[in-house]
């Protein structure tokens, strides 16, 4: 049974970090209701959900993906690009040490988990406002013994690499080609998002199903035509905080 680590939406979510979106009102009650629906979707797929307690003074702490990178052999504890998010990592590391060997990224390297796309033994790291080349180098050195290749890729127009591309099957990526170059992912097949839905490239693959937002019906139709099994959730409230469905959990197989 996969384990999904989540965290309760912070009451201070309205003070979240924003890079590419204008600040708008976030309804805490709606955000928590949608997050509960997300956790229910994880359970429906077959995950054991470990819900961590709220961190009231850390606005972005619901986005646990950014604190760690989960591999079969180890868990990498990140050094988030936004300084305000660094206090989130220790409580996540405390949980993960029960399941994985821990590897820590150290300054001057910075990296958010949302910038990391794992495809087999190849790890793509988005070179964004949150993640840098020093992190790529540290990860490559730390993971060499496990046979991983770590590659930095340029991202434009969005917060994280996984805002632009996510895995929907072993050999297929869902991608917004305006935000990341398809040619960087040699040997992969692609499903392109509908152009009218630029934020539609983020889906969470667990086993053979994808947790996916209700907000992108045109891209969802494309995915279904390609045989992708969707579990749809409402996610528009946390999207106001530049969050997406991959952001809200850490998955351990």
| pLDDT the model gives residue 145 | 95
Digit-coded pLDDT (tens) for 84-118: 999 999 999 999 999 999 999 999 999 999 999 99
**pLDDT at res. 218:** 98
Q: Which candidate in 35, 47, 160, 248 is catalytic?
A: 160
Catalytic residue among 47, 158, 247, 248: 247
Q: Does residue 248 carry a catalytic annotation?
A: no
Model confidence pLDDT, tens digit, residues 12-62:
999 999 999 999 999 999 999 999 999 999 999 999 999 999 999 999 999
| pLDDT at site 199 | 97
In angstroms, the Cα distances linking 213 to 8, 118, 218 are: 19, 21, 11
DSSP code for 11: T
Residue 211 — pLDDT band, cuts 50, 70, 90?
very high
**pLDDT for position 133:** 98
Res 246: pLDDT: 98
DSSP assignment of 159-211 equals SSHHHHEEEEETTEEEE-TTTS-GGGSTT-EEEEPPTT-TTTT--EEETTEEE
Q: What confidence tens digit (pLDDT) does each residue in 179-206 have?
A: 999 999 999 999 999 999 999 999 999 9
Instruction: Report the number of secondary-structure helices (H) and strands (E) in the chain.
Output: 6, 15
The boundaries of the domain holding residue 160 are 3-252
Task: Look at the chain and report how many structural domains it folds into.
Answer: 1
Name the band, by pLDDT with cuts 50, 70 and 90, for residue 176. Answer: very high
Q: Give the per-residue pLDDT at 197.
A: 98
The domain that holds 67 is classified in CATH as 3.75.10.10
Indicate whether this model's pTM tops 0.75.
yes
Whether 247 is catalytic: yes
Question: Which tens digit of pLDDT belongs to each residue from 118-140?
Answer: 999 999 999 999 999 999 999 99
């Amino acid at each position: 049974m996969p384990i999904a680590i989540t965290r309760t939406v912070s009451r201070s979510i309205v003070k979240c970090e924003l890079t590419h979106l204008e600040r708008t009102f976030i309804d805490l009650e709606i955000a928590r209701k949608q997050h509960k629906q997300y956790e229910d979707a994880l359970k429906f797929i077959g995950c054991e959900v470990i819900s961590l307690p709220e961190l009231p003074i850390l606005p972005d702490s619901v986005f646990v993906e950014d604190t760690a990178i989960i591999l079969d052999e180890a868990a990498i504890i990140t050094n988030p690009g936004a300084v305000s998010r660094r206090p989130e990592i220790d409580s996540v590391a405390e949980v993960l040490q029960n399941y994985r060997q821990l590897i820590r990224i150290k300054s001057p390297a910075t990296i958010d988990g949302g910038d990391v796309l794992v495809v087999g033994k190849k790890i793509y790291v988005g070179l964004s406002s949150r993640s840098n080349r020093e992190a790529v180098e540290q990860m490559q050195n730390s993971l060499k013994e496990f046979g991983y290749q770590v590659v930095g890729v340029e991202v434009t127009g969005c917060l994280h690499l996984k805002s632009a591309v996510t895995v929907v099957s072993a050999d297929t990526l869902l991608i917004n080609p305006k935000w990341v170059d398809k040619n960087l992912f040699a040997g992969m097949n692609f499903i392109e998002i509908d152009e009218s839905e630029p934020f539609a490239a983020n889906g969470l693959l667990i086993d053979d199903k994808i947790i996916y937002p209700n907000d992108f019906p045109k891209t969802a139709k494309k995915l279904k035509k390609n045989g992708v099994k969707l579990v749809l959730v409402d996610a528009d409230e946390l999207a106001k905080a530049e969050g997406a469905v991959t952001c809200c959990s850490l998955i351990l197989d």
